[in-house]
Amino acid sequence: MSGGEPVLQLSEVTFRYRLPNWPKPWLKRLGAGIHKVDLEVHSGSILGLIGPNGAGKTTLLHTIAGLHAHDSGNVRLAGQDREMLGWANAQRHIGLMPERVNWTGSSTPREALKRIVTMRGEGETPEQLLELVGMRSRMDTPLENMSQGMRQRLSLACALLGSPDILLLDEPMNGLDPVAQAAFRRLLRNLADSGVAIIVSSHNLQEMELFVDSLAILHRGQMVSYGSLQDVEKALGCSPSLLIAGNGWHPPSAGSFGAGVTMEMCEAWQGEEWRFTLHRNDGWSGDEKHDVLQAIEGAGGRISMLQTVLPSLEDLLSAATGDAADEIGFEIASDSMIPVRTWGVGEDE
Amino acid sequence: MNRLAREKRVLSLSWFEARQHFRSPRMLALIALLTLFIGGGSWGLSDPNSTVTAQLQMDTPYEVLFLVSLFVLFSSTLGVVLLGFDGISRKRLTGELAIELAQPIDRTDLARSQLQGLWLAVFTPTALACAIGIVLIYAQMNAWPTFGEFVYFMIPTALVIYWYACIQLLASSIAKDLGSSVTLGVGVWMLFTLIWLLVTAVIASLMGVDVTNLESIEYNRFSEIVDLFSPNGVYQLLLENKLTGEDRPTMGTAYIWTAAALWSLIPSTLFLARFKRLKP
Over residues A71-126, the pLDDT tens digits come to 999 999 999 999 999 999 999 999 999 998 999 888 899 999 999 999 988 778 88
How many separate domains does chain B show? 1
pLDDT at site B139: 94
Distance of alpha carbon A279 from alpha carbon A265, whole angstroms: 12
Contact B157, B114 (CB under 8 A): no
Q: CB distance A116–B103 less than 8 Å?
A: yes
The helix/strand/coil state of A304 is strand
**What is the enclosing helix (H) or strand (E) of A198?**
strand A197-202
Residues of A in contact with B95 (CB under 8 A): 98-102, 155
User: What Å distances lie between residue A348 and A25, A200, A342, B60, B227, CA to CA?
Assistant: 11, 33, 16, 63, 40
Contact check, Cβ <8 Å, B16/A118? yes
Alpha-carbon distance values, A150 to A116, A173, A218 (Å): 17, 12, 29
| Chain A residues near residue B100 by CB distance under 8 angstroms | 116, 119
What are the residues facing A262 on neighbouring strands? A279
At residue A103, the pLDDT reads 92
Contacts of B135 (CB under 8 A, 6+ apart): none
Query: What gap in Å lies between CA A129 and CA B64, rounded to an integer?
Result: 55
Cis peptide before A23 (omega within 30 of 0): yes
What's the Rg (C-alpha) of chain B? 20
Find the closest chain B residue to A92 by CA distance.
B104
B contacts of A158 (beta carbons < 8 Å): 99
Q: What is the mean pLDDT of residues A289-313?
A: 85
Are A119 and B101 in contact (CB < 8 Å)?
no
R_g of chain A computed on alpha carbons = 23
Question: Is the Cβ of B4 closer than 8 Å to some Cβ of chain A?
Answer: no
Q: How far apart are CA A46 and CA A229, in angstroms?
A: 12
Q: In what helix (H) or strand (E) does residue A94 lie, and over which residues does it extend?
A: strand A94-97
Position A97 scores a pLDDT of 96
Query: With an 8 Å Cβ cutoff, are A120 and B105 in contact?
Result: yes
Residue A69 has pLDDT above 50, yes or no: yes
Closest CA to B85 of B170, B145, B9, B6: B170
Residue ranges making up the domain that contains B149 = 3-276
Find the CB nearest B106 among A87, A90, A94: A87
The more confident residue out of A314 and A273 is A273
Bridge partners, A77 (sequence order): A8, A80
pLDDT tier at A292 (50, 70, 90 boundaries)? Answer: confident
Check pLDDT > 50 for residue A336.
no
Q: Which residue has the higher pLDDT, A174 or A156?
A: A156
- Predicted local distance difference test score (pLDDT) of residue A338: 45
Residue B9 to residue A119, Cβ atoms within 8 A:
yes
Percent over 90 (pLDDT), chain A: 40
Integer CA distances (angstroms), B12 to A34, A133, A162, A284, B96, in order: 37, 26, 19, 59, 18
Give B13's contacts in chain A (Cβ within 8 Å). Answer: 115, 118-119
> Which chain B residues touch A165 with a CB distance below 8 Å?
none
Quote the strand ranges of A249-313, DSSP E. Answer: 262-265, 274-279, 302-309
Contact call for A87 and B23, based on CB within 8 A: no
Between A206 and B157, the higher pLDDT residue: B157
**Cβ-Cβ contacts under 8 Å, A107 against chain B:** 19-20, 23
**A117, closest residue in chain B (CA to CA):** B103
> A104–B94: do the CB atoms touch at under 8 Å?
yes
- CA gap B154, B160 in Å, rounded: 10
Q: Which long-range contacts (CB under 8 A, 24 or more apart) does B48-52 make?
A: B48/B140, B48/B141
Distance of CA B158 to the CA centre of its chain: 7
What is the Cα–Cα distance from A3 to B53, expressed in whole angstroms? 81
Q: Confirm whether pTM is higher than 0.80.
A: yes
Q: Which residues contact B177 (CB under 8 A, 6 or more apart)?
A: B89, B93
pLDDT given for residue B49 in this prediction: 79
Q: How many CB atoms lie within 10 A of CB A196?
A: 21
Dihedral sign (CA A211, A217, A221, A223)? negative
DSSP β-bridge partners for residue A198:
A46, A167
> d(Cα B258, Cα B238) in Å, to the nearest integer?
11
Q: Are A37 and A217 in contact (CB under 8 A)?
A: no
- Choose among B23, B24, B104: nearest Cβ to A92: B104
Is the pLDDT score of A346 beyond 60? no
Cα separations in angstroms, A190 against A1, A43, A44, B149, B241: 18, 13, 9, 64, 68
- Contact list in B for residue A118 (CB cut-off 8 A) is 9, 12-13, 16
DSSP classification of residue A143: G
For residue B52, the model assigns a pLDDT of 67
Please give the C-alpha separations between residue A55 and each of B27, B176, B243, B272, in angstroms, as whole numbers: 42, 22, 64, 32
Q: Using CA atoms, how far apart are residues A180 and A134, in angstroms rounded to an integer?
A: 9
Say what the pLDDT of residue A224 is: 86
Of A46, A39, A44, nearest to A75 (Cα)? A39
Mean pLDDT of B32-40: 95
Out of A22-31, A289-298, B168-177, the most confident range is B168-177
Using CB atoms and an 8 Å cut-off, which of residues 130-159 of chain B contact chain A? none
State yes or no: ipTM above 0.90.
no
Q: Are B84 and B169 in contact (CB under 8 A)?
A: yes
pLDDT-derived band of residue A345, with 50, 70 and 90 as boundaries?
A: very low
Which band of pLDDT confidence, cut at 50, 70 and 90, is reported for residue B56? low
Per-residue pLDDT for A325 more than 60?
Answer: yes
Chain A residues touching residue B280 (CB < 8 angstroms): 62, 67, 98
Q: Does B245 touch chain A (CB under 8 A)?
A: no
Q: What's the mean pLDDT in B132-159? A: 95
Contact A259, A253 (CB under 8 A): no
B71 to each of A41, A190, B34, B47, B267, how far by Cα in Å? 60, 60, 8, 16, 23
Among B residues 34-93, those touching chain A with beta carbons less than 8 Å apart: 90, 93
> Residues with Cβ < 8 Å from B129, sequence gap 6 or more?
B34, B35, B38, B39
Is A166 an 8 Å CB contact of chain B?
Answer: no
In this complex, which of A67, A89, A121 lies closest to B102 when CB atoms are compared? A67
Phi/psi zone of residue B56: left (φ > 0), alpha (ψ -120 to 50 degrees), beta?
Answer: beta
Whole-number Å distance between alpha carbons of B161 and B139: 27
Cβ contact B136:B46 at 8 Å: yes
CA distance A327 to chain B (A): 31
Instruction: Give the Cα separation of A30 and A349 in Å (integer).
Output: 7
**Residue B184: which H helix or E strand, with range?**
helix B178-193
Q: Which pLDDT band holds residue A290 (cuts at 50, 70, 90)?
A: confident
Task: Give which of B87, B85, B83, B167 is closest to B125, Cα–Cα.
Answer: B83
Which range scores top for mean pLDDT: A46-50, A338-342, B123-127? B123-127
- Contact across the interface for A87 and B104, Cβ inside 8 Å: yes
Which chain A residue shows the shortest CA-CA distance from B20? Answer: A107
Tell me which of A302-311, B76-85, B266-275 is least confident: A302-311
- Hey, are the CB atoms on B95 and A65 less than 8 Å from each other? no
Among A65, A105, A106, whose Cβ lies nearest the Cβ of B102?
A65
Question: Which of A102, A111, A119 is opposite residue B105, by nearest beta carbon?
Answer: A119
Question: Considering only alpha carbons, which residue of chain A is nearest residue B17?
Answer: A115
Strands A166-170 and A197-202: parallel
pLDDT of A329 reads 56
Length of chain A in terms of residues written: 349
Question: Is B26 in the A-facing interface, judged by CB distances under 8 Å?
Answer: no
List, in order, residues 6 or more apart from A135 with CB less than 8 Å away: A109, A150, A153, A154, A157
Rank A171-185, A322-336, B71-85 by mean pLDDT and report only the highest: B71-85
Hey, of A119, A145, A151, A163, which one would you mutate to test binding to chain B, going by the most B CBs within 10 A of its CB?
Answer: A119
